[in-house]
Every structure is written in structure tokens, then in C-alpha cells.
Amino acid sequence: MTVSVMRPATPVPLHTPAPMGAILLMCAAAACFVVSNALVKHIGQWLPTGQMLFIRGCMAMLIVFAAAHASRAARQLGTILSAPVLARAAVEGVGSTLFLMSLAWLPLANATAIDLSAPLILTGLAVVFLGERVPAQRWLAIGAGFIGVLLIVQPRAGHFNAAALLCLLGTMLHATRDLLTRRIPPGVPSLLVALSSTVALTLVAGAWLLVEGWRPIERAHLGWLALGAAFLAGGVLCTIASLRRSALSTVAPFRYLSLPFALALGFGVWGELPGPLACAGIVLIAASGLWVLLGAKRTPAAASVPERRLRLFRPSRHRAPPAA
């Protein structure tokens, strides 16, 4: 007589890795953010930054909330009050506001390139605060990337580039935002994470609006802002969904598609063409950033950093590990 032995069922992971879908989402997010930023730069010729971002944020909130309600994700609205979601939203609100404020003075491609130095900043911070060991080749890439930032900013003696400083501060906060995104438990719907981001952006813009004041607005401006809100909502949602479907090192390199988008829009709309030094800086940032990200992808997630130091950045206990 044959006795059949029941084997324990293989646990089903909470997240099925989908690299191609995550990559496509990140490409869509890159395009959405560039178009949204271009619209902000365009409307900024007539409206104060705080008023413009506040109106756009209100519209984006309505769009994201409508999508959350249609998908029944709004039933879990209370989950956005969790600490990881609130922390991410706060960092997103301040960082994006600083970055968008810098667009009034910086060319679109230059600001986009500075924002894409976030992986380099992340690596440097990991070395300083987490004691992570970085190979010599990656240090060279980081150094080249920061030289690229200097070529774009082009600081001069006695000249203080406030716009570039705002952009750099926003970039540092964007890097922190990406780490916090990985800390959000899988039970929180991406639509609600996107909603928390738009709420934070609107609140920060509203605070800035109190300082700048309100100006009369035309219907055409409202139309442009509504279009910008749609692209903003799409970009936030695509980014969150991409980061939660695959490893950061897998999808992050595709953010660099925003560089050709920004160059094309900047030249086509405003006739902006970066000078030779700025172009060299853009190439350095893109090449070094891709080198760092692809190098991180090839390097196994080994215990080069003590476990206790990484605890803050690890995924939730109830979450499947990210795909390599």
C-alpha cells in the first residue's frame, strides 16, 4: 500500500516581482514628471509659485482620490496615517516644492539633471551614516557625478546661485523619499500613498501661498494647471507602483530617460540649450548615476553594513523581499 505524504504548501509571496512592468511604469513616470514640471515652468511666468502649486495640488488630490474611490482603495483611507506614509509624504512635499521653485530660474534640463544625481547622494550618505563599504570604482563614479553637478551649477566667486541650491536640497529629499517608499507595508494601496503625497504638496504650497499672496487667474491658466495636475498624479502613482513591484536598482536607471525628454521640451518650448559645460555635466551625471545603479544591482545585498544599522531601511517584516 502506498502512503502519500502531504507536503507543506509553498508560501505565496505577497508581491510577485514584475521587472518589465516596473520598468515601463518608471519610464511613464519619467515622462509624466517632465511634462508636469514643464507646465509649472510655463505657468510660472504669470502666477506666483505658491498659488500655482496650491491650485495644481488641489486638482491632483481630486484626481487621485477619484481613482482611489473607483478602485475601492478609499476604504483603507486610515492607512495613510501610518508613520511610514506620513514621513514619506512630508519629505515629498518639501522636496518637490523646493525643486519646483528652482524651475523659475533654472533651465528644465539642468534642473532635471541635478535631480537625477539622487543615487549619487544616496551612496554618499550610506557611507557616512551607515558605514557602507563602497568599491573604488564606484567612488570614481560618485566623484564624476558631483563634478557634473558643479559643471551645471557653475559656481563663481562672489556669486550665490540660490536656484541651484534649492534644486540640490530638493534632490536630497527626493533620495530620502525613495528610501521611505520601500518602508511602506504592502497592505497600503499605492493610490493612497499617492494621495498622501499630493496632500503634502498642497499643504506646503498653501503655506508658501500665505507668504506670496494671491493673484487673479485666467481660465487658460486653470486649463494648463489641470493638465499639469493630471501628469503629476500619473507620475506619482507610476513611481510608487514601480518601486513596489521591483528592486530600486532595477528600475531607477530608467529615470534617466527624463533627461532627453527635458532637453527636447526645454529646446522646443523655450529655446533652452545648455552650454558646453552644462552639457558635459549632464553627460557626467547620467553616466556616473547609471554606473552606480548598475554596480549596485550586480553587487549582492551582502552584510557589508551591520544588520542593526540597516534595520531602519529594511522592508516590513510581513513583506516579501524585493526582487534582485
Query: What three-state secondary structure class fits 156?
Result: strand
pLDDT at 313 over 50: no
Mean pLDDT of 304-312: 39
Domain assignment of residue 71, yes or no: yes
Three-state SS annotation for 10-22: CCCCCCCCCHHHH
Cα of first residue to Cα of last residue in the chain, in angstroms, is 45
Evaluate the CA torsion angle 111, 124, 119, 287 in order and state its sign: positive
Per-residue confidence (pLDDT) for residue 205, from 0 to 100: 93
pLDDT at 89 over 50: yes
Domain assignment of residue 306, yes or no: no
Expressed as residue numbers, the domain containing 282 is 20-300
324 vs 267, which has greater pLDDT?
Answer: 267
Domain assignment of residue 314, yes or no: no
185 vs 243, which has greater pLDDT?
Answer: 185
Domain assignment of residue 323, yes or no: no
Residue pointed to by grid coordinates 491650485 = 55
Q: Cα–Cα distance between 306 and 209 in angstroms, integer?
A: 44
Residue closest to 96 by CA, chosen among 1, 10, 23, 202: 202
pLDDT digits (tens, 9 = 90+) for 36-51: 989 988 898 888 889 9
Say how many domains are in the chain. Answer: 1
pLDDT at 178 over 50: yes
pLDDT digits (tens, 9 = 90+) for 112-148: 888 888 777 767 666 666 566 777 777 787 788 888 8
Query: What three-state secondary structure class fits 275?
Result: coil
Domain assignment of residue 109, yes or no: yes
Distances (CA, A) of 173 to 8, 108, 231, 283, 317: 45, 19, 21, 23, 25
Per-residue confidence (pLDDT) for residue 104, from 0 to 100: 84
